[in-house]
Chains A and B, each alone.
Chain A
Amino acid sequence: MRVIAAIAQWFDHRLQLASPIRDAAEHPVPRNTASWFYVFGSAALVVFCLQLATGILLAMVYVPSADEAWNSLQALNHQVVFGWFVRALHGWGSNFMVAIVLIHMTQVFLFGAYKYPRELTWIVGVFLLLTTLGMAFTGQIMRFDQDAYWGLGIGASIASRVPVAGPAIVSLMLGGPIIAGATLSRFFTLHVFVVPGTLIVLVCLHVLMVLKLGINEWPMPGRLVRKATYERDYHQLTKADGAPFVPYAVWKDMFFAAFVLLAVGGCAWYVGPFGPTGRPDPTIIQTAPRPDYFFLWLFALLSLLPPSLETAAVLIGPAVVTIALLLLPFLSGEGEKSWKRRPIAVLTVLLIAITLGTFTHLAEYAPWSPHMNAWSGDPLPEQLLRGTTALQRQGALVLQAKQCRNCHALGDSGGERGPRLDTVAVRLTQDQLIRQVIQGGGNMPAYGTNLSPAETTALVAFLETLHPPDQAPAHEAARGVVLGSGPETRASAKR
């Protein structure tokens, strides 16, 4: 032991690091911050370290070439010993990191930790969120499969809409005229050098400021932040009711970090790595690209926004949100910290969470995407054909063969882009059905040129049978009166 101490002293005499490290570890923190609510920041850092380690391991096998990347991923999954597990750790670590960063940010916001004098810590945190999302997006590209390829196309399409500079941005982003070798190489550079380098610098700044300014005290309702008195009050608090961070508070961080690492490892072990999906071959067009989990809300937004608003919302929206986050500590740098007395803050968090959650949930089954194989693959529910005439059955055939099912559900299957057709006869009269089929409208293509009159007649005859047994199909009252055959005419004749 004496030898070890002597060696340590020899090094410290030259490095002079023991004292600042001890000061940092033992700096006093308010006792009530040793809470399970205060563990997310350190957990994010631990998962980031896991990402660095697994990323370096993956880079030892991965080949960042458009020609070879997919094959090297296959080798990692199937050939390299535990290659699949390291890939799974990195993929799940990415999901956990985004989730923990978002939870950490929410906690910091609700606990008023962004207020004076921690404005800059928050601002650096906002950039840490952006770089974390940047890592998640560029990481999705590293998994160079069909989703990555077409995802890049979507990114290029969005970037191209920037006024004036759009085409130049697309060229710069792709590194050439198409999504190819140069594109993967530059996203590899971003994912492995530029963004993580920025992230490391920002993390150091972030942690340094937490150490220098002290951890945010537990917010008490009614204890307001004032620039003139805050720092004096905080020092009194840590003096009167403080305890050294190590070991008083750090054990909770360590327990939670271990729990998170175990969760990442468990997911990786039992669920395995993400993809890759099909080869990134642009001539294989039988694909329906989907973004990774944390960008699903964007996928939903791009489908649901009215076309006229889309470009403005997609280009200006992120800038507005970022600026709002950056301005937050200046707009409300003083005053109440406790979420119990900040109803608007709580409502804002709930609103954002519900919005993002709803969009993500919608994107998981994407009701706006046609089911490309429904027309040929989904069976027609048997009960819909029972007791139908030859003409109506002919119409059912037209409905399948003309891909109506790709957008319209019948029974349990079919697309959800258009309304379900199970009860369409209750909603639309015969004339309205014919008009809708031939002219389209309301987001439906016109089939006038693709259906013969005989096909239209048969199709509408079948659609008219689609109503519940206890509910009559819609009919035009005036038509019955004019033609003398409708129920109104019969009723008045009886009278």
Chain B
Amino acid sequence: MSNETLLTRRGLLMKLGILLNGMVAAALAVPVVRFVLSSITLGRENAYVSWVSLGQVSDFPEGETRLATFRNPYVLPTDGQTADTACWVRRIEGEQFQVFAVNCAHLGCPVRWFPQSGLFMCPCHGGAYYRDGSRASGPPERGLFEYPFKVENGTVTIHAGELPTPGTIAPASAKAMTGERVEGTAPPCA
């Protein structure tokens, strides 16, 4: 047996020292990693989204599209006004609504509604959408993001809480385009 393979007492103690530090590091890493990844895990557990009220049905005249604002359901004490969120509410007729995110489906800039031409226009890269949220022109590859909604006791509520982005929301289904909403359908923002 050569000298290199001999395990001395000091050598063993050093290896044990490395092992000990490795074990302590692994034990500490569990809560630290969970801390770092908490924003991902909370999102996956649907902890961010819930039903929020936008106001009375009567606040939204039939055939018109209006800007509504709501306080994001998940907030930290330091969020301030950044937790206030805007959305476009289109009341088609009766209790038929469409609620669009203000974020352009291209890169998230805030779209503005022009009732005269019936278009949503984006100030950044020139995306445009028709009044039903479908894509009209420009770089977006899909229509506006829609929040699931329901009307309860004359109040319009939407299922919201997360920033809608092109990669996190599947393209709106055919049903989603008709304006029909029922509780229990998979929220597109989840």
Contacts and interface: CB of A to CB of B under 8 A. Distances in A.
Contact of A402 (B77, B81, B116, B124): B116
A285 B67 contact: yes
Interface in B96-142: 102-103, 106-112, 114, 116-119, 121-126, 128, 130, 136-141
Given A157-B165, A280-B81, A281-B84, A176 B48 contact: yes
Interface string A285-315: 1111100000000010011010100100000
B72 A178 contact: yes
Contacts, number: 203
A158 B107 contact: yes
A446 B131 CA distance: 12
A9 B168 CA distance: 65
A96 B73 CA distance: 42
B118 A449 contact: yes
Interface string B75-95: 111111111111000000000
A335 interface: no
B172 interface: no
Contact of B82 (A156, A179, A289, A375): A179
Contact of B108 (A153, A287, A307): A153
Given A153-B108, A161-B166, A370 B126 contact: yes
Contacts of B186: none
- Most chain B CB within 10 A, of A167, A168, A177, is at A177
A282 B86 contact: yes
A180 B112 contact: no
Interface stretch (A65-73, A120-128, A232-240, A324-332): A65-73
A177 B168 contact: no
A368 B137 contact: no
B46 to A, nearest CB: 10
B56 interface: no
B124 A288 contact: yes
B139 to A, nearest CB: 5
Interface in B147-171: 161-163, 165-168
Contacts of B79: 66-67, 180-181
Nearest to B41: A171
Contacts of A167: 43, 167-168
B139 A178 contact: no
Contacts of A175: 39
A373 to B, nearest CB: 10
Given A303-B126, A369-B125, A179 B163 contact: yes
A24 to B, nearest CB: 36
Contacts of A244: none
A310 B139 contact: yes
B165 A160 contact: yes
B95 to A, nearest CB: 23
Contact of A177 (B122, B124, B125, B162): B162
B12 interface: no
Interface string A442-459: 011111011000000000
B166 A171 contact: no
B169 to A, nearest CB: 9
Given A285-B102, A403-B117, A440-B136, A369 B165 contact: no
A154 B72 contact: no
A171 B39 contact: yes
A153 B139 CA distance: 16
A252 interface: no
Contact of B85 (A67, A178, A307): A178
A106 B106 CA distance: 34
A170 B119 contact: no
Interface string A413-448: 000010000000000000000000000100111110
Contact of A154 (B76, B85, B109): B109
B40 interface: yes
A383 interface: no
Nearest to A177: B48
Interface string A52-69: 000000000000011110
B134 to A, nearest CB: 10
Most B Cβ at <10 Å: residue of A153, A175, A375, A443: A153
Contact of A283 (B69, B123, B161, B165): B69
A388 B163 CA distance: 50
Given A175-B39, A406-B121, A150 B108 contact: yes
A180 B83 contact: yes
Given A153-B108, A181-B79, A280-B82, A445 B166 contact: no
Interface in A83-124: none
Interface of A: 65-68, 149-150, 153-154, 156-162, 166-168, 170-172, 174-182, 185, 279-283, 285-289, 299, 302-303, 305, 307, 310, 368-370, 372, 375, 401-404, 406-407, 417, 440, 443-447, 449-450
Given A65-B80, A450-B118, 14 more contacts: A68-B78, A157-B165, A167-B43, A167-B167, A170-B165, A174-B39, A181-B76, A285-B102, A370-B121, A403-B114, A404-B117, A446-B136, A449-B118, A450-B119
15 contacts: A154-B107, A156-B165, A157-B103, A157-B167, A160-B168, A166-B167, A172-B40, A176-B74, A177-B48, A178-B162, A180-B72, A180-B83, A303-B124, A370-B122, A450-B118
Interface of B: 37, 39-40, 42-43, 48-49, 67, 69, 72, 74-86, 102-103, 106-112, 114, 116-119, 121-126, 128, 130, 136-141, 161-163, 165-168
